[in-house]
Amino acid sequence: MPNFPMRQIIAGFAILLLLIVFPLVISQPFHIHVMILVFMFGMLGVAWNILGGYAGMFSFGQAAFFGIGAYTSSYLSIAYGINPWIGLVAGGCAAALVAAAIGYPCSNLRGHYFAIASIAFAEIVRIVFNNWQLVGAAEGLSLPMQNESFSNFLFNSSKLPYYYIMLAFLLLSLAVCYFIATSKMGYYFRAIKESHKIAEVLGVNVVLYRLMAIMISAFLSAMAGTFYAQYILYIDPGSVMLLATSIQIVLISMLGGAGSIMGPVIGAAILIPASEYTRVALGFKGTGMDMLIYGLLITLISMYYPEGVWKLLSRLGRQLK
Amino acid sequence: MNKAICLKVEGLSKRFGGLAANEDIHFSVEEGEIVSVIGPNGAGKSTLFNCVTGFYKPDRGSVFFYGKNITGMRSDRVCNLGIARTFQIVEVISEMTVLENVTTGALLRYRRIKPAMEKAGEILTFTGLYDKRHFLGTELTIADKKRLEVSMALATAPRLLMLDESMAGLTKVELREIIDLIRKIRDKGMTLIIVEHVMEAVMQISDRVVVLNSGKKIMEGTPKEVCSDREVIQAYLGEKYSALVK
């Protein structure tokens, strides 16, 4: 387990300070928007990593949890005027319950089979929401304009509050992941990742710990979903429940470094700007050049650093000592 | 002196389709004993282990651990009660260091990492792997992997330890070491059941031997009795071996 040396703590605080100051110096909204996306996908990556990187359950259905979070808080807000902060927790709980309901019957599925089941699950959720009149079906939900305030989780005049809230969410998810990785749960997750057989023979209640992994992951993903809804103020199944989003979450985590605490954040910090800026710079030409470059980057990382960029960084860090 | 009965197996049967892997097996193990289970390949030794430790559900019969019926109990709960085991094909957590592997086992009895890790350190000193505690599971030789697996099993603080072919494929020196280790474990008051093909070792360390053939128990007795039994010789040991014993 990481036994943080002084140098790492200082580096961590320096980066955090930079991130806090960043939007005060760089004022163009687009750059701030990209950073918000980095934090959001970083958080989704961290949530995936708890499930996939630590417990070895390769979920390709994280968008379902993200969407359930977005829908729960939005629907509660529109239909009952419930505060989005309460909706945030409600969304997390709803996603965790759904995760438990689907995770329990999948208790014996490992590897590819779990991945397939997770895709099927997420697609079913998407199709249900696409046809569910109560939640706007394919038209989705538009959140009403309210006075901007922290308690309303709504800000019109500036992206800054969103930036800081998402940064705080990301830090929270990292704290959760750190706590798991350095506790009994983390050890048991890693045993389960190796094989159910070995976990059982060491006295691990495999079904229970797998449920915990998937519920925690779902809760955090749903928090990001509520954030997204409050940020964009419009959601539909085509934007918050896409398979493409689920795959992007896996890519970010794997290329950043699955099974390490910071890996997914590094992955998001590389892939999200790469995707956004190439799109802005080249996307308008309609030639698909932006996707080509993005794809090339992914190919290069998976060819040369299949264990993730984080492994490379920590190796470099060790050599510097 | 009457010792407590550690494990009691009564009429245990397990079928796989048309194959009777275990058929009406009876035996019991006293506390502090070393009992070997021998027999040719496919005799049902590993099936027996799996039925006792909850990896298979027996079709008929019962298993009692210190009087408690554990038949068909989930394997992690069996472990929690105090039966630890190793596998014929060695199982360690490849992405963890030796110390972390054993710590994972110790976490069954400790809630926090630190005391579990201290316990793991003690066990590694006991099993002689402490110097390699920072190696990854994958970096070990087969002999060390088997030793690690035993360490992990010990970390769960069992009262009964079941070793499935811990000696297969080892050199003479390694064999010597593992036999010493098994004796040391017994001296700590643990009961052991071992599945083994290495007869030299079986003869040396066993208090009693249970012989299986085609799913049935054909003989039970002291190593000496078993070696001179005609049926055992025919089924498993071979004439040459019995000649050697005499």
Q: Of the candidates B203, B243, B245, B240, which has an alpha carbon nearest to the alpha carbon of residue B38?
A: B203
Structure tokens at A123: 């697609």
Per-residue model confidence (pLDDT) at position B241: 63
pLDDT surpasses 60 at A2: no
Mutate to test the interface with A, among B49, B56, B75, B134 (most CBs of A within 10 A): B75
| Residue B136 in this model has a pLDDT that exceeds 50 | yes
Contact B212, B44 (CB under 8 A): yes
Cβ of B107 and A198 within 8 Å?
no
Answer yes or no: pTM beyond 0.80. Answer: yes
Q: Residue B6 corresponds to which tokens in the numbers above?
A: 């550690």
Per-residue pLDDT reduced to its tens digit, A150-200: 888 888 888 899 999 999 999 999 999 999 999 999 999 999 999 999 999
Residue A8's pLDDT band (cuts 50, 70, 90): confident
- Does position A3 have pLDDT exceeding 80, yes or no? no
Q: How confident is the model at residue A4 (pLDDT cuts 50, 70, 90)?
A: low
Give CA angle at B49 (B47, B53), nearest 5°: 120
Phi, psi of A9 (to 5 degrees): -65, -45
- The alpha carbon of residue A182 is apart from the nearest alpha carbon of chain B, in Å, by 8
Nearest-neighbour CA in chain A from B45: distance (Å)? 18
- Residue B39 Cα, gap to closest chain A Cα (Å): 24
Contacts A197 to B, Cβ<8 Å: 55, 87, 91
Indicate the pLDDT class of residue A295, thresholds 50, 70 and 90: confident
**pLDDT score for A319:** 75
Domains of chain B: 5-245 (3.40.50.300)
Q: Lowest mean pLDDT of A17-26, A117-126, A128-137, B236-245, name the range.
A: B236-245
Contacts of A174 (CB under 8 A, 6+ apart): A46, A261, A262, A265
pLDDT tens for A66-85 read 999 999 999 999 999 999 99
How far CA A20 is from CA of A164, A265, B40, in Å, comes to: 8, 16, 69
Taking CB atoms and an 8 Å limit, are A184 and B105 in contact across chains? no
Report DSSP letters for A105-143, one per residue.
TTTT--HHHHHHHHHHHHHHHHHHHHH-GGGTGGG-EEP
Q: Which two tokens stand for residue B60?
A: 């008929």
Chain B residues lying within 8 Å of A200, measured CB to CB: 54-55, 74-76, 79
| Predicted local confidence at residue B1, as pLDDT | 53
Interval A86-119: pLDDT, tens: 999 999 999 999 999 999 999 888 888 999 999 9
Q: Predicted ipTM? A: 0.90
pLDDT band at B122, cuts 50/70/90? Answer: very high
Residue A285 vs residue B4, higher pLDDT: B4
Give the distance from CA B196 to its chain's centroid. Answer: 9
CB spacing of A206 vs B105 below 8 angstroms: no
**How do residues B33-73 score in pLDDT, each as one tens digit?**
999 999 888 899 999 999 999 999 999 999 999 999 999 99
Closest chain A C-alpha to B186 CA, distance in angstroms: 20
When computed from its CA atoms, the radius of gyration of chain B, rounded to whole angstroms, is: 18
CB proximity list for A41: less than 8 A, separation 6 or greater: A248, A249, A252, A268, A271, A272
Mean pLDDT in chain B? 91
Q: B2: pLDDT confidence band, cut at 50, 70 and 90?
A: low
CA distance B54 to A298: 44
Q: Which residues of B touch A183 (CB under 8 A)?
A: 113
* Closest-CA residue to A200 (of B161, B108, B88, B194): B108
Find the mean pLDDT for residues A42-67.
Answer: 96
Q: Sorting pLDDT into bands at 50, 70 and 90, what band is B239?
A: low
The pLDDT confidence band at residue A298, using thresholds 50, 70 and 90, is confident
- Report helix angle A84-103 to A206-232, nearest 10: 140
Domain ranges of chain A: 27-242
pLDDT at B228: 81
- At A1 the pLDDT is 45
> Which of the 8 DSSP states describes residue A100?
H
Residue A261 has pLDDT above 80, yes or no: yes
